[in-house]
Chains A and B, each alone.
Chain A
Amino acid sequence: MSTAKRLVSLVCLVLVFALVAGCAQKPAEPAKPAEQAKPAEPAKPAEPAEIKIGVVAPITGDVATFGVNTHRGVELAVKQLNDKGGVLGKKVVLKVEDDKNQPTETAAAVQKLITQDKVTAIIGSVASKCTLAGAPIAQSNKVPMISPTSTNEKVTQVGEYIFRACFIDPFQGAVMAKFAYENLKVKTAACLFDVTNDYTKGLAESFKANFEKLGGKVVEYQTYNVGDQDFKPQLTKIKAQNPDVLFLSDYYNTVGLIAKQVREMGLKCILLGGDGWDSAELGKIGGTAIEGGYFSNHYSKDAKNPEAVAFLDAFKKAYNEDPDALAALAYDATMILCDAIKRAGKLDGGAIKDAMSSTKDFKAVSGSITIDPATRNPIKSAVVLKVDKGGKFAFEALVNP
């Protein structure tokens, strides 16, 4: 008994000590950079010699290829800008944060970029659920934020400092509904999506609404939770209705897993999806099960506009890989932002946001971009890609708004 008590008190002591030590250390740490910063400050009033831009992307986690390629796209754009003398005569410097595709991490990363790194603007994040968590912080600090790929409608509704470089889900859902009904000539569809994710949910909703408006029928509308691995109960329900197509609005990792179980259950329907499918990993997890599926996307590497051709070339040279839409949109987002900074002429959040919302006919990799000042959404077209043998993507159709 007494040994137990002694142990407890020892543990408590250690804990208290650790706490005190931790507390003592914490204030000491930020003090250091402050001290270092102080002597530098008198020289500062002139103007910072560089432009700091924050990048928030899921470099690890369940959509890691999205984060890695987003980072590459931004990096490539910044390198090209700096090689040409930078923006406003200043060098562009990136501050990169990994949010692991978790909204809480995005919020923390945005907070850090604004308060500690004092960035001029932020590029990110990738997933809508993450951008939605980070955007309010950027908005309240009046720091312009542009997400390359967050397609959920609500993202830019956060405020006038929040932009994006991609089309939105209502459009994407309409594109796939139209493609299914008119190109594939199917009449019945089923949806299966992650109910905890703004992106997958919004996309499934818009697909359903549009498919029904065209005259098709959505026979099953099933959900699951993030992290689920077993979809057979839902697929059993879907199989009983025998739909022509199954709309899977999740990201490549989960889509690959679902596709395998779809074929295992003996379902013969065609698989459809959104831009979340765009990863070389899709075929690795989905195998042959995913072949023959179609998804809507922002960019196809077969695009022939001069910007896209130059980008494809530069990207291949830099990373020895074909770029995906994530890389293309990240590149575009960076160029749109830097174009706005140039036109604003100063590193002021308000001026940059005004310049950005007046972006007109900007020649980007993913097509010509005009930002609608009211909604801060770009107006642009979509492509439909087909998953071929070996998980390769082939251009199938171009759909205009």
Chain B
Amino acid sequence: MVEFVQQLINGISLGCIYALIALGYTMVYGIVRLINFAHGDIYMVGAYIGYLTAHRIGPHFFPALIIAMAGAATLGVTIEKIAYKPLRYAPRIAALTTAIGVSIFLENAVRKFISPNFLPFPEMIKRVPFEVRGVTFSNVQIIVPLVALLLVIVLQYIVLRTKPGRAMRAVSLDKDCARLMGVNVDKIVSITFAMGSSLAAAAGVLVGIAYPRIDPYMGVMAGLKAFVSAVLGGIGIIPGAALGGLFMGLAEVMAVHFINSAFKDAVAFVILIIVLLVKPSGLLGKYVSEKV
């Protein structure tokens, strides 16, 4: 039982990180119907910005987090303007290919200009382990889900309660109609990219703290898992991404607990296949009939 509770905690803290990255995927997809494969690399760049900030001003968590989020937001908007905007009316496959190109570009830019090697992430939060009835966890394992939860609440508030949020939802429903109603679509798309990228950067810094080692390719697998989380929850739906991330984290951990660590990733992906077979639009997805 103790072991099970321990695994539950492990799964939640891992799932929160997937959820944070998945949110950016899902937001961008919801607005521009683009699977932004460079998203995992923005998460990586976010971690590097946190790393560089800590080296400049010392290992302080909040300044590093905010600078990383701001930096990644700028990067996200720039990428959108340079790489995706000219292709907005091109077939989707062209934008998808561009996204892969951007991903490779970012990885190699970090390799070239920062370091091609693994770097130890500075200890921004002093690790304090606790033990409660045989279950061990550290303050980091509490802070990570808390920060993630806070960001999700802020995000939900922006999307549901503010004017840009309403415009976002309008653009996601029907871009052309929203434009006719006076919504500045370009601006909304930029805001979406900025928010999605800053969430990814937050995940990058949190990962740096939880697993203190960063490298230029850290975004590849994390991005893939987050993408799967977004699809699992129903791509384009914000609570779906959060749920999907938690689900993936727990599935991986439970696979280790009940089956074998060798099957960890396999189990997560098998669950994805089953969910998509039974409910193709994802856990929280609604079936939308295609208009002809």
Residues of A within 8 A of B (CB): 3-4, 7-8, 11, 60-62, 64, 100, 195, 222-225, 227, 229-230, 232-234, 236-237, 239-240, 253, 256-257, 260-261, 263-266, 281, 284-285, 287
Contacts and interface: CB of A to CB of B under 8 A. Distances in A.
Contacts of A266: 129, 131, 136
Given A225-B264, A257-B211, A4 B120 contact: no
B89 A260 contact: no
Nearest to B265: A225
Contacts of B120: 256, 281, 284-285
B7 interface: yes
Interface in B2-23: 2-3, 6-7, 10-11, 13-14
Contacts of A285: 118, 120, 212-213
B111 interface: yes
A29 B123 CA distance: 49
B90 interface: yes
25 contacts: A4-B91, A11-B90, A60-B116, A64-B118, A223-B261, A223-B262, A224-B261, A225-B264, A227-B221, A229-B207, A229-B210, A234-B261, A236-B3, A240-B2, A256-B213, A257-B211, A257-B213, A260-B127, A260-B212, A264-B140, A266-B129, A266-B136, A281-B120, A285-B118, A285-B212
Contacts of B118: 61-62, 64, 253, 281, 285
B80 interface: no
B90 A236 contact: no
A33 B240 CA distance: 58
A232 B6 CA distance: 9
Interface stretch (B34-42, B52-60, B149-157, B250-258): B250-258
Given A8-B94, A265-B129, A281-B120, 4 more contacts: A3-B89, A11-B90, A230-B210, A285-B213
Contact of A233 (B89, B116, B207, B256): B256
A367 to B, nearest CB: 30
A8 to B, nearest CB: 6
B257 A264 contact: no
A137 to B, nearest CB: 24
B227 interface: no
> Can you list the 5 inter-chain pairs with the closest CB atoms, starting with the nearest?
A60-B116, A233-B256, A229-B211, A64-B117, A266-B136
B162 interface: no
A100 B115 CA distance: 13
A61 B119 CA distance: 10
Contacts of A260: 127, 212
Contact of B94 (A3, A11, A222): A11
Contacts of B87: 7
Interface string B206-223: 010011110101101100
Contacts of A256: 120, 213
A227 B220 CA distance: 10
A287 B213 CA distance: 12
A236 B6 contact: yes
Nearest to A289: B127
Contacts of A264: 127, 129, 136, 138, 140
Interface residues of B, number: 44
A240 B13 CA distance: 20
A233 B117 contact: no
Contacts of A239: 3, 6, 136
B249 to A, nearest CB: 9
Contacts of A263: 129
B261 A7 contact: no
A223 B140 CA distance: 24
Contact of B117 (A61, A224, A287): A61
Contacts of B13: 232
Contact of B90 (A7, A257, A265, A281): A7
Nearest to A251: B118
A109 to B, nearest CB: 16
Given A4-B89, A60-B117, A223-B262, A233 B111 contact: no
B254 to A, nearest CB: 8
Contacts of A261: 211
A233 B10 contact: yes
B128 to A, nearest CB: 10
A227 to B, nearest CB: 5
Given A7-B89, A266-B129, A233 B252 contact: yes
A121 to B, nearest CB: 27
A387 to B, nearest CB: 16
A287 B212 CA distance: 11
B257 A233 contact: yes
Contacts of A233: 7, 10-11, 252-253, 256-257, 261, 264
B269 to A, nearest CB: 12
Interface in B211-244: 211-213, 215, 217-218, 220-221
A8 B257 contact: no
A8 B127 contact: no
Contact of A61 (B89, B116, B256): B116
A223 B7 CA distance: 16
B211 A8 contact: no
Interface string B80-123: 00000001011100100000000000000001000011101001
A223 B263 CA distance: 9
Nearest to A235: B10
Nearest to B140: A264
Contacts of B215: 62
Nearest to A240: B3
Contacts of A281: 118, 120
> Residue among B91, B116, B117, B123 with the most chain A CB within 10 A?
B117
A236 B7 contact: yes
A11 B90 CA distance: 9
Contacts of B253: 232-233
A4 B91 CA distance: 8
A280 to B, nearest CB: 12
